[in-house]
């Protein structure tokens, strides 16, 4: 019986994770659930945003369904104790180096996109972002220049194995979709990107069925809003992926619609909506649970090998929307629970 670790966290996290849990439970797959404390909720109870028992649960489980962390009450805490550290700690401890962020527009939501409806309707892509390297994890610090000025620095670095393993995830993802992969870098300027491109081209030899293209990141940012339909799978580094995936998500409509997966190559993964704890609407039944429910669908697909069940959940979300269910972020008045009910009814 697969064990799912539920880490609801703060703000709207518990509200949306509960709807996702109900959808998973309704599939009759014999899943078991165990809940752990994380984020501000964990700090309040245990004095740490990622208590050892939560980490042990995440390590023991077959997959982790995560809500969101972040609580304005703890904004003045030391950085190491802030709720957000729990996400970084889990990624690091579980070795989750690959972040998959699909962005697609569900039928009927064209008006919710920041793009013109006829452009927005063409978005259906996945960004594969490297998650444990790059400037976020390179050498960093502040020093004094010879002119006596304070200087901050963050080193961008990738070794070839780090690039190889994320490239493979990119090619595999493309193989499972339309067979097109766009590698995004800044190879005209950065040494890191030169190596990135060399390695991606070498890995491509193992995937003759995938059509590989390359694009500079600044152009990719422009193309994502100009003609997003040209992309199917994008593979890129941590920094570029962070920015491009937020941009793509806004093209696709509400932040309340977008799921994500963080994977380590073993099948184990952490699945979470891309949104945060939304303290402005927490506890009011206004949160859109679709991103969490679609994250549960990714969990079924990537960690449990239950592709048919994942398809059913995604179809049920589409059907609930087509049926007229709209939470406030989509311009309606459907509550979190009612949206969950609409998805369950469609299942």
Angle between helices 238-251 and 217-226 (to 10 degrees): 10
Question: Smallest distance from the beta carbon of 84 to ligand NAI, in angstroms?
Answer: 5
Q: Which two tokens stand for residue 135?
A: 């400037």
DSSP string computed for 82-108: STTHHHHHHHHHHT--EEEEEEEPPTT
Of these residues, 232, 242, 268, 329, which one is catalytic? 242
78 is catalytic: no
How would you list the strands of the sheet with 269-273, edge to edge?
32-35, 3-9, 63-68, 269-273, 259-263, 98-104, 124-130, 233-236, 180-185, 211-216
174 binds ligand NAI per the rule CB under 6 A: no
Q: Is residue 291 at the binding interface for ligand NAI, with CB under 6 A as the rule?
A: yes
Tell me if 69 contacts ligand NAI by CB under 6 A: yes
Of 186, 207, 268, 329, the catalytic one is: 186
Which of residues 103 and 210 has its CB atom nearest to ligand NAI in the complex? 103
Q: Please select the residue that binds ligand NAI; options are 87, 199, 220, 252, rule is CB under 6 A.
A: 87
What does 287 bind: Mg ion, ligand NAI, none (CB cut-off 5 to 8 Å by kind)?
A: ligand NAI
Helix axes 336-346, 307-322, angle to 10 degrees: 120
Residues 184-223 as x/- pattern, contact with Mg ion by CB under 5 A: ----------------------------------------
Q: Which stretch binds ligand NAI (CB under 6 A): 63-71, 212-220, 300-308, 337-345?
A: 63-71
Q: Which residues contact 41 (CB under 8 A, 6 or more apart)?
A: 8, 9, 10, 71
Q: What are the catalytic residues?
A: 136, 186, 218, 242, 246
Give contact residues for ligand NAI (rule: CB under 6 A).
12, 16, 68-70, 84, 87, 255-256, 272, 275-281, 287-288, 291, 329
């Amino acid at each position: 019986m697969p064990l799912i670790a539920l880490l609801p966290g703060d703000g709207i996290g518990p509200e949306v994770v509960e709807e996702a849990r109900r959808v998973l439970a309704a599939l009759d797959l014999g899943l078991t659930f165990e809940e752990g404390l994380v984020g501000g909720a964990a700090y309040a109870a245990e004095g740490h945003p990622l208590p050892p028992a939560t980490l042990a649960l995440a390590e023991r489980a077959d997959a982790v369904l995560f809500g969101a962390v972040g609580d304005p009450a703890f904004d003045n805490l030391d950085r190491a104790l802030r709720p957000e550290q729990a996400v970084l700690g889990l990624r690091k401890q579980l070795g989750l180096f690959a972040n998959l962020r699909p962005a697609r527009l569900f039928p009927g939501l064209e008006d919710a996109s920041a793009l013109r409806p006829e452009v927005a309707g063409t978005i259906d892509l996945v960004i594969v972002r490297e998650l444990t390297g790059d400037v976020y994890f390179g050498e960093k610090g502040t020093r004094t220049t010879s002119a006596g000025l304070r200087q901050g620095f963050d080193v961008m670095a990738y070794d070839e194995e780090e690039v190889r393993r994320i490239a493979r995830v990119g090619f595999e993802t493309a193989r499972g979709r339309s067979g097109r992969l766009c590698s995004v870098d800044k190879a005209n300027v950065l040494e890191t990107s030169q190596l990135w491109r060399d390695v991606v081209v070498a890995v491509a030899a193992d995937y003759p069925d995938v059509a590989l293209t390359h694009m500079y990141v600044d152009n990719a940012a422009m193309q994502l809003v100009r003609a997003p339909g040209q992309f199917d799978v994008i593979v890129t580094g941590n920094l570029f992926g962070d920015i491009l995936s937020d941009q793509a998500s806004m093209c696709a409509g509400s932040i309340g619609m977008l799921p994500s997966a963080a994977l380590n190559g073993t099948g184990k993964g952490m699945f979470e909506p891309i949104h945060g704890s939304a303290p402005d609407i927490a506890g009011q039944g206004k949160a859109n649970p679709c991103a969490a429910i679609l994250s549960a669908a990714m969990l079924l697909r990537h960690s449990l090998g239950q592709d048919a069940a994942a398809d059913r959940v995604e179809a049920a979300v589409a059907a609930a929307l087509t049926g007229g269910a709209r939470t406030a972020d989509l311009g309606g008045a459907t509550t979190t629970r009612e949206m969950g009910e609409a998805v369950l009814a469609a299942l």
